[in-house]
Structure 1
Amino acid sequence: MDGSHGLRSRALTPLVTLPILAAAAATITTATTARRQKKRLRSLPRWCTSLSTATDGNGCPSFGSVARPHGKTFKKPRRPYEKERLDQELKLVGEYGLRCKRELWRVQYTLSRIRNAAKELLKLDEKDEKRIFEGEALLRRMNRYGLLDESQNKLDYVLALTPEHFLERRLQTLVFKSGMAKSIHHARVLIRQRHIRVGRQVVNISSFMVRVDSQKHIDFSLTSPLGGGRPGRVKRKNMKAAAKKAAGGDDDEDDEE
């Protein structure tokens, strides 16, 4: 009797421990998943983590709701080796001091989207509410950025815009034409090194589109050595060496006397 009872108890032992082992394995898996998601969350930029508010059942952030930037910003040419287009692009890149042709393609893509919007509005009736409302908004934006004059208050003028109109309104171009830089490339260096401000805001983006109202507020940054701020490292070093040399010369004169 005792032997059979012992065999029966040993046979039931694995059946009893299986749920316990399954629960322990589930707990370990959940903890591992939580650690991995937290590690992934730390690796994301701050602006991404601030938008991730949804959580899963374990209290961890749900990464399916994280907003990520997507969409085209430029469009490559269909014919990559077209001589006339290559010559025109090279001329614009050199004239406006662009870093690469991608910056020019970005302007062309923006222009194409604006022109397509104008074409869709021109297909509608002149008294259509959508054409009146969206057309006026589009023209106001073009006037605000100096792409069109106030007298050009028709959608037909939007179709006549060229990439040169947009390139003329870049901060890099305006800094050079205002005489603050020696060349178009020097203007880009000044902007990237945070020497230029628009109003009270320091702008370090060369492709920044300047509004007509903000154009008169382009100036050197208050903290820049070019705008009366603290001298640069090399100038401070030279000033210190000159002061030390002058002090040494005064001591020599006193010794001679």
Structure 2
Amino acid sequence: MTYQYHDESIVKNLAEHTTFVFGSNMAGEHSSGAAKIALENFGALKGVGRGWSGQSFAIPTMNEHLQQMPLSQIQHYIDDFKIYCKNHPKNKYFLTSIGCGTAGYTVEEIAPMFKGISHNVIFPASFRPFVEKTLPKLNQKFLHTLFNEERIFSAQEDNSMLDQLDLSDNEISLAKIIVNTQMYPNDSNGRDRSFEIEDILHNLKAKAIQFPDALEARFIIGGAVLATLELYNINESDFIDAWTGIHEIAPPRPAHKAKK
């Protein structure tokens, strides 16, 4: 699916039928970043932290206490925005990098939530790899290339090093999603995932897939494995099959293509 994109420079005016879409908090403070721009230039209202006002549309990424919302809750508000866009096809929506500033999430975590949205959205350029392309198949080469202690640790410090790997553009985008998905010690919803990660590492070790001995290193890589399992909706046995080259794992079907 092909969309329009903007270069993410600061804008203070848009065409009449184009709405400025920004990440907000439920208190509607609009005190910084794109929210402040929306307040000063696009009719956003103090105290209105969700939905349409003036020439703007607020998508909450932080709660009324100015704390980061779980990704699952942000997805709910994005799904509402998808419906709004579909029901107002004559308008265009200039989407900023919601959740990727004060809220503290990464593009890799937020952008895929917008997949399947209607074509009247103008995306930030950084969202492009995540809204246009489907996930690639998981195969032995990809897993052996990414799941290396030095590479995982280096990528957490600097995602740009992943661009140098011998992987396709789509696989590099997948690698960035995996590396940036928070799993250890707690996931983005605040859940302790250490027991799940320990089970995964035990099952992989039983199949002679050995990761570092140092506890923190093992758990960081185990968290990346868990992120992969959840992203592809697979279990350890599937991962092992892909790791050993028995077969490739197809990506899950996008939700918007599910049978009604």
TM-score scaled by length of structure 2: 0.20
Task: Using CA pairs under 8 Å that are at least 6 residues apart, name the structure with larger relative contact order, 1 or 2.
Answer: 2
Larger Rg: 1
More strand by share: 2
